[in-house]
Structure 1
Amino acid sequence: MSEKVLERHEVPKEDTWDLEAIFSNDNEWEKSAESLKSKLSEMDAFRGKLGDNAETLYQALRKQLELEEQIGLLYTYAHMRHDQDTSNSFYAALQDKAYGLVSLLNQKTAFVTPELLALEETKLNAFIKEKKELSLFAHMFDQLQKQKAHVLSNEEEELLARAKEVLNASSQAFSALNNADIEFPSIQDKNGKDLQITHGRFISLLQGKDRTVRKKAFEAVYQTYNSYKNTFAATLSGQVKGDIFTAQSRRYESAREAALSSTHIPLAVYDQLITTVEEHLPLLHRYVSLRKKCLDVEELHMYDLYTPIVKDIEYQVTYEEAQKEVIAAVKPLGDEYVQKLKKGFEQRWVDVQENKGKRSGAYSSGTYGTMPYILMNWQDDVDNLFTLAHEFGHSLHSDYTRSTQPYLYGDYTIFVAEVASTLNEALLHHHLIQTLDDKQKKLYILNYFLEGFRGTVFRQTMFAEFEQMIHERSESGEALTADDLTSMYYDLNVKYYGPDMVVDKEIGLEWARIPHFYYNFYVFQYATGYSAAQALSKQIIEEGQPAVDRFIEFLKTGSSDYPIEMLKKAGVDMTTSQPVEQAMKLFEETLKQMEELMES
């Protein structure tokens, strides 16, 4: 680990994403933004006229898509420029301009949905029959009809569109505080040298062998969050209240129902995830006991959760080595998939290195007409190897979708998003277990799988339970104070990790650093997506080409079908508890495999 965090201008060009492929420079972005702004008023000509005739309806919808596609390019460039250095005030302003354009477009097009829903179904069908090009919108029309009870009048829709920028303020404030303003102290490593803690380094430090360093890093990070806990409580409370305001405005019974209805996911999927995972918490407790035994500690603390329990092993992976491993791992998906992956490395989809001010974590981004970009904060470890495979799963999903579907359906819902990414991780795990000869490294990967499962299924479900709790508390009129949030979160950790874990008081503050709590009931889909991915990866490995064909077709579908139906066609039914049960069985089998290998 380098002691110095690079400034953005010090990062080699080959390790940065090629945003110039979107706009060659910032001036080009400004010209495009001004051009788009002048075109927004063109939507006014269609207000109140969508029911006049088929041609007017088609031209209005085509104009809306044209404007949305252009604004997608502007927003993507601006937010990614900002994310590469969140301390850069110019790009912060550029991102604000992009948000403003999105808000203006939402205002100008707010009349479309209410007017579409006002059309009689027989009239709409007649329009489609008269103007065959309108058949493109058939699935969209069907989705709207299912949402009819929650769509408001033109004036009310426009008011909500105007409010969207204000409702995003809490999330933006959290991002600015967490990524740009908050600073962690330096700690001393085992050699007595000062090491600055960053978001990108935090987990790497917790994965280290030196328990004293782990403890120092853990306490330093959460002591820092404790200093800002009231501010973070205010931003999270503001986000929750915004979710509730939008849900109540649209006549939903809860914010959770509103969030899931947008992708037509039954509430039972959410409920049975929490129920099924809680029924299997003894498996997590068994893993915690194994971890305590392997680390040979009298007490197992929260800062002991990330360090590998396989001793005396150095398992570093450079970015160049990671590329080779990921390429080899996805070969079961076929030559076309592999070639697309290689193209991503060659064409600078990935922003590789951490630099000062860069947004923490990793993601896949881009929009229709751009590369499916990836943000990383690379550290030479196995976690980053799997993260790279994960994000390329997202990006290749985007690539297949955008190259197959028209713009209208050229994206995919959050519910299916985690399937493609987690399937790549599953294939990587299978590849490493099959090819590694070193017993210690194989144990390391088995432990990595168990730890990944803990983080993706158990932990994300705990997040989902916390998110449901805080929304329900706010919906009942109770305040979300820093102390209440910390207490609720602490108690959940006690329940999930069981009797062999010392749940340090600091972990109660972890809610303050989790960005996904600002994503409006997003996190449960990590766990459901993981479960679906494990089932699909098993089919691909065991069945071969038929399963591959189903999966590639799934990647191409975009949003042209309902997510539950897409997954059924791919081979899993998420309306049942079976995928989660299967995932739990896999966790138990892997846990047993590791226990036996450690005894051999």
Structure 2
Amino acid sequence: MSLTHLPARADVDPRHTWNAESVFATVEEWAAELAALAPEVEGLSRFQGHLADGPAVLAEAMQSLETLSQRVEKALIHALLTESVDRGNQASTARAGQAGSLYGQMQGAVAFLEPELLAIGRERLAEWTATEPRLAHLAHYFDNLFRRQAHVRSPEVEEVLGLAADAFGGSQSTFSKLTDTDFKFRPVTAVGPDGDELAVGQGTVDDLLHSADRAVRRAAWESYHDQYLAYRNTLAANLATSIKQNVLVSRVRRYESTLDMALFTDNIPPAVYHNLLDTFKRHRSVWHRYFDVRRRALGVETLHTYDIWAPLTAEQPRIPYEQGVEWVAAALSPLGEEYAGRLRRGCVDERWIDVYPNEGKSAGAFSWGCQGTYPFIVMSYSDDAISLGTLAHELGHSMHSLLTWENQPKVYADYTMFAAEVASNFNQAMLRAYLLPRDLGPRDEARQLKIAVLEEAMANFHRYFLEMPTLALFELEMHRREERGEGLTADDMIAYLADLFAETYGDAAAVDRERDGIRWATFGHLYADYYVFQYATGISGANALARRVLSGGPDAAEDYLGFLRAGSSRYPLEALRAAGVDLTQPAPVEAAFETLGDLIDQLDTLLNE
């Protein structure tokens, strides 16, 4: 994909676009469904006040709720995915707003559910699940509901919180619109006889930071972050609003803190969060080793942040999308041909993936869908090892979703963020384990591929095991300041994150206090409160489970597949223990740092051959 021009959405080959017509054949069909859903959402009120009438009535209500919520989700997914690949399309934006509004109405319409279930009581619900077959699968759901009982408020309060869901999503929507659509980055002028201007955008900045030309990397880094700095106050106020909303909800629900609320939802002890951050602080020196290897390989006196993604060899292997799919499928073959075959068909035949960048496409990559759709992926593939790793990562999410949807009823047909990042990083760990021992091609080409795979691994670990724990420290402090009523300003946010990066980099790399400090504004993840730490626990659990599967234990693969199939039918820590890893202990995080150290050693050896 040329960096000098991004194609318009209409010019993208349909073969490389997500299969929107498999969800709704036409926009008119989507609109008809949305119109039909509105009165049905209102009709849910017929169950309000009647859930205690008996097990048959409750079973009918639960089935109606599940069926309707799935239809609303399909409408929302179609609208938001359509918008995400072409944010400049105003008609798509309008449809996304309509679907989001309907989703908010649905949340408000079902607000009576949990207060009425709690009023029925644990003992009666246990009797009903034993006598009414249509309620039997809800035993875990009811147990979890009563675990959360102290934080479920009155029907009126729950209705308000449900109706507020759409409005409270405004901060994230504003962030996305501002940074994906309205931001105009100054271009980079390439060094050379033609002096080409290279477009800086959400879909190209990563490629520019991977440039072999240090001047291009630096200019791209500065252009990108200077645009965020120009809007520092707006972005800070927007994030602060999101944090204030989180604080408000935690107080309405009577939690001691926002952290307690975020972790309690998934039954995760706060010690898991603090274990991660404490272990990260103790092992920062591992990163100093890597920065030294990278500095020597690049031949620079001082390593800057914009050097962290620079290629370490003159020739970078080209990995076409089709080749990438085959390697990922082969790497996952220890999980069985059914898993690998489903993955391959999804990529090639069923068009799960919106593959390449285009104008107005969202930054980054994500997987999303629901029961009744494919597990779609939006990304910007660039025929390199980084894109290959991203492909494997998102396919981990998609296969997790697919196996959950096929094996769980609607009430358990999702999974926590905590579990999600295990599945995605597992695929990447398996891909490296497949590629690194093999000589794929002549000696020099094989060496270059291995270095590229290790560079992808280091980029992945850098994001998950350096940036995300650092952001987790930042996020915790910002929430605490707001909880103490101190208020948040752009300058304070920038200064605090710059201090954190300075502690992490030590003397091994230089910190650009303004541009490194504004990096919180480049991560939309912070609008999902206390999400970022789960990337680090996820990569820890993933590498532990990959080692177990690759060791060839008789039950390892099936245990892992059982974790994928579990969805939310079990608490995430329980499901992971059953698969073979205990993330309540620091040991998996310690082991992940050992894996990181081994990857650094392999890279250093290959670079010195």
Which band: TM-score by shorter chain?
Answer: over 0.9
Given that 2:366 and 2:378 are in contact with CA atoms closer than 8 Å, whether structure 1 keeps it comes out as: yes
Alignment of 1:41-440 (within 5 A): 41-191=42-192, 192-308=195-311, 310-345=312-347, 346-436=349-439, 437=443, 438-440=446-448
Matching residue within 587, 591, 595 for 1:578: 587
Q: 1:477 corresponds to which residue?
A: 485
What secondary structure does 2:198 align onto? strand
1:266-322 Cα distance to aligned partner (Å, 9 max, x none): 1111110000011001111121122212212111111111113x3322222221221
- Aligned mates of 2:332, 2:483 — CA distance in 1: 45
What secondary structure does 1:374 align onto? strand
- Aligned mates of 1:597, 1:356 — CA distance in 2: 38
Given that 2:122 and 2:146 are in contact with CA atoms closer than 8 Å, whether structure 1 keeps it comes out as: no
What secondary structure does 2:555 align onto? helix
What secondary structure does 2:437 align onto? helix
Kindly indicate whether residue 491 of structure 2 is the aligned counterpart of residue 486 of structure 1. Answer: no
Identity %: 37
What secondary structure does 2:76 align onto? helix
- Aligned mates of 1:342, 1:299 — CA distance in 2: 43
Shift of 1:159: 1.2
- Aligned mates of 1:53, 1:463 — CA distance in 2: 49
What secondary structure does 2:35 align onto? helix
Given that 2:246 and 2:529 are in contact with CA atoms closer than 8 Å, whether structure 1 keeps it comes out as: yes
What secondary structure does 2:381 align onto? coil
Q: 2:476 corresponds to which residue?
A: 468
Shift of 1:371: 0.5
Shift of 1:497: 1.2
Letter in 1 for 2:316: E
Letter in 2 for 1:23: F
Given that 2:309 and 2:459 are in contact with CA atoms closer than 8 Å, whether structure 1 keeps it comes out as: yes
Shift of 1:544: 4.7
CA distance 1:440–1:551, shift in 2 (3 Å)? same
CA distance 1:593–1:314, shift in 2 (3 Å)? closer
Which runs of no fewer than 5 residues in structure 1 stay unpaired?
A: none
Shift of 1:430: 1.0
Shift of 1:107: 1.4
1:405-441 Cα distance to aligned partner (Å, 9 max, x none): 1111111111101111111101111111011353343
Given that 2:118 and 2:146 are in contact with CA atoms closer than 8 Å, whether structure 1 keeps it comes out as: yes
Given that 2:404 and 2:566 are in contact with CA atoms closer than 8 Å, whether structure 1 keeps it comes out as: yes
Letter in 2 for 1:510: R
Shift of 1:190: 2.2
Letter in 1 for 2:56: E
Aligned length: 599
More deviation, 165-174/266-275: 165-174
- Aligned mates of 2:81, 2:597 — CA distance in 1: 40
CA distance 1:321–1:190, shift in 2 (3 Å)? farther
Matching residue within 570, 573, 589 for 1:561: 570
Given that 2:188 and 2:219 are in contact with CA atoms closer than 8 Å, whether structure 1 keeps it comes out as: yes
More deviation, 284-293/67-76: 284-293
Q: 1:532 corresponds to which residue?
A: 541
Kindly indicate whether residue 445 of structure 2 is the aligned counterpart of residue 443 of structure 1. Answer: no
Shift of 1:52: 1.9
Which runs of no fewer than 5 residues in structure 2 stay unpaired?
A: none
Shift of 1:545: 4.5
Given that 1:564 and 1:573 are in contact with CA atoms closer than 8 Å, whether structure 2 keeps it comes out as: yes
What secondary structure does 1:586 align onto? helix
Kindly indicate whether residue 38 of structure 2 is the aligned counterpart of residue 30 of structure 1. Answer: no
Given that 1:332 and 1:544 are in contact with CA atoms closer than 8 Å, whether structure 2 keeps it comes out as: no
- Aligned mates of 1:170, 1:571 — CA distance in 2: 38
Letter in 2 for 1:566: A
1:442-475 Cα distance to aligned partner (Å, 9 max, x none): 2333333233212211221111111111111111
Given that 1:313 and 1:441 are in contact with CA atoms closer than 8 Å, whether structure 2 keeps it comes out as: no
Q: TM-score, normalised by structure 1?
A: 0.98
More deviation, 348-357/433-442: 433-442
Given that 1:493 and 1:503 are in contact with CA atoms closer than 8 Å, whether structure 2 keeps it comes out as: yes
Kindly indicate whether residue 506 of structure 2 is the aligned counterpart of residue 498 of structure 1. Answer: yes
More deviation, 285-294/435-444: 435-444
Kindly indicate whether residue 454 of structure 2 is the aligned counterpart of residue 452 of structure 1. Answer: no
Given that 2:272 and 2:584 are in contact with CA atoms closer than 8 Å, whether structure 1 keeps it comes out as: yes
Shift of 1:324: 2.0
- Aligned mates of 2:45, 2:372 — CA distance in 1: 26
Over the aligned positions, Cα root-mean-square deviation in angstroms equals: 1.3
- Aligned mates of 2:300, 2:438 — CA distance in 1: 32
Matching residue within 543, 566, 569 for 2:552: 543
- Aligned mates of 1:13, 1:210 — CA distance in 2: 34
- Aligned mates of 2:5, 2:106 — CA distance in 1: 43
1:25-58 Cα distance to aligned partner (Å, 9 max, x none): 1111111111111112322122112112111111
CA distance 1:599–1:8, shift in 2 (3 Å)? closer
Shift of 1:598: 3.6
